Amino acid sequence: MENLVAEISRLKQEKNAIILSHNYQRTEIFEVADFIGDSLGLCQEAKTTKADLIVFSGVHFMAESAAILNPDKKVVIPDPEAGCAMADMIDVEGLLAMKAKYPGVPVVMYVNSTAEIKAESDVLCTSANAVKVVQSLSEKRVICAPDKNLADFIQSKIPDKEIIPWDGYCPIHQRLNLDYVKQARKRHPKAKIIAHPECPLEVSEAADYCLSTSKMVEAVKNDPAKEFIVMTECGMIKRLQKVFPDRKFYTLCSMCFDMKKNTLEKIRDCLVNEKPVVSVDPAVSGKALQAFERMFNI
Ligand code: 13P
Ligand code: SF4
C-alpha cells in the first residue's frame, strides 16, 4: 500500500490533480485525499480548486456536481458504477408531473440527484443546509425531493411551512431504527447519539444531534462526551475514530457499497489514464448551476 500511496502522490503533483473524498470512503483513501468532507464541503472545494484534474472519490452525483460547478476542469471518478440508490428514486418525468400538480410551488432538491433533476429544480440543498434553504423561501408550500426523511426532518424544524415530500429514501439510512437507539442508550448510557437527517424522523428525534457527516466531526470535537452512538452509514465511525482516537464510537452495521467501490488502485488508474471522465451536457449543466448558485447565495 505504501508504494501505491507514493505513486498516487507523485501522479497528483505531475498532473496538478486534487483528490476529493467523501467522509464515507475507505480509510486508506483518506491517506491520499486533499480534502475529506460532506456534500456541501466537497461542492465548495470543487468550485474553487485551482487544480487541473479533480479525482472525485465519492459517488457519481458528487462527481457530476463538481463538473457542473467547475466546467473548465476535468473530473474523473475511480469507479463510474458508484451510484446512489436515493438519486435513482426520482426521474425527470415524475418530477415534471409533480411540478404540474403543484404549480408555483418551489422545488428544493437534495444534491443526491442527477444533473437532469437538478436542472428542473429551483434551488439545491445538502444535509448541512436544508433547513436554512427552505426557511429562506418566502413561499409557504415547498416541494422537497427526493428524500422523504429529510423532508420530514425539515418539516419538524419549520412547522409553519407545508413541506410536500417526494417518496424517496436512502436504503442505508432507512434501515437504522429506533429499537437500536433504545438498546444502544441502555448499553452505553453516557454516550451521545448523533444521527444523519436521512434517518427516519423517529431516529433523528431520539438523537442528541442530527447533522451532516462533516458537522458530526465538529460536534464530536466540541462535545466533552467520551462515547458516541453514530446513526449513519457505518463507515463514518472509521472516519471519526481516525480523527478522535481517544473517543469510542458505536454504530449499527449498514454500509453503502457504492461508496466503497472506490479503491486506491482505481484512484491510481484514473490518475494515470485521466478517465473515466464525468461530464454534463452544457444545456443541462447551465440550468443545474443556477440551482447551485441559488443555494450558495442563501
Ligand atoms: P453528507 O452531505 O452529510 O455527507 O451526506 C451525503 C450522503 O450521501 C449521506 O448518505
Ligand atoms: Fe446515496 Fe445512501 Fe449511499 Fe449516501 S449512503 S450515497 S444517500 S445510497
Residues 91 and 167 grouped into a single domain? yes
Its domain, for residue 293, covers 87-171+285-297
Say yes or no to pLDDT of 232 above 80.
Answer: yes
Q: Decide whether any atom of ligand 2 lies within 6 Å of the 170 Cβ.
A: yes
CATH of residue 154's domain is 3.40.50.10800
pLDDT of residue 279: 95
Looking at the fold, whether 150 and 290 belong to one and the same domain comes out as yes
Instruction: Say if ligand 1 is within 6 A of residue 170 CB.
Output: yes
Neighbours of 100 (CB within 10 A): 8
Q: Is the CB of 23 under 6 A from ligand 1?
A: yes
Q: What is the pLDDT of residues 29-58, one digit of tens each?
A: 999 999 999 999 999 999 999 999 999 999
- Has residue 2 got a pLDDT over 70? no
The percentage of residues in the chain with a pLDDT greater than 90, rounded to a whole number, is 98
Quick one: what percent of the chain has pLDDT higher than 70? 99
Tens digit of pLDDT for each residue in 164-186?
999 999 999 999 999 999 999 99
Cell of residue 240, nine digits: 471519526
Euclidean distance between CA atoms 276 and 295, whole angstroms = 28
- Same-domain pairing of 149 and 293: yes
Same domain, 164 and 237: no
The Cβ of residue 189 has, within 10 Å, a number of other Cβ atoms equal to 8
Task: Cell numbers for 56, please give them.
Answer: 472525485
pLDDT band at 253 (very low <50, low <70, confident <90, very high): confident
In this predicted structure, what is the pLDDT of residue 1? 65
Q: What is the pTM of this model?
A: 0.96
Domain count, the chain: 3
**Structure confidence by residue, pLDDT tens digits, 273-297:** 999 999 999 999 999 999 999 999 9
Q: Which of 213, 218, 259, 261 is the best mutation target for the ligand 1 pocket, counting ligand atoms within 8 Å of the beta carbon and taking the most?
A: 213
- Judged by its nearest atom, the ligand closest to the C-alpha of residue 172 is 2
Same domain, 122 and 187: no
What is the atom index within ligand 2 of the atom nearest the CA of 256? 3
Confirm or reject: Cβ of 107 under 6 Å from ligand 2.
no
